[in-house]
Amino acid sequence: MQKYPTALERDDNGTFLVTFPDFPDAVTYGDDEADALAHASEALTAAISARMDDGEDIPTPSSIESGQYAVTLPPLVAVKAAIYMEM
């Protein structure tokens, strides 16, 4: 399974901002870390789906640095992305 690095940062309103080094256009948030990571999977799926719809490249996951989280693509999305990248 592909795992993409994800950064969580506490926002000034107490929520957690989620960003992806490999997908600058994908941003989400959550009320706490668990909620933020749940939303992270959804945001990553949406970003990859949008790139496939637009005929754009899907970046391979960069290395996960210290302090970052790893978000694993859902299996169906990972398979679709792999087929898309091979085409």
Mean of pLDDT over the chain? 94
SS3 percent helix, strand, coil of the chain, rounded to 5, is: 40, 30, 35
pLDDT bin (cut points 50, 70, 90) of residue 2 is: confident
pLDDT bin (cut points 50, 70, 90) of residue 70 is: very high
Q: How far is CA 68 from CA 22, 48, 59, 76, 82, in A?
A: 13, 20, 18, 24, 24
Residue-wise over 37-48: b if at least 16 C-beta within 10 A, else e?
bebbbebbbebb
CB contact at 8 A, 77 and 4: no
Q: What is the pLDDT of residues 9-27, one digit of tens each?
A: 999 999 999 999 999 999 9
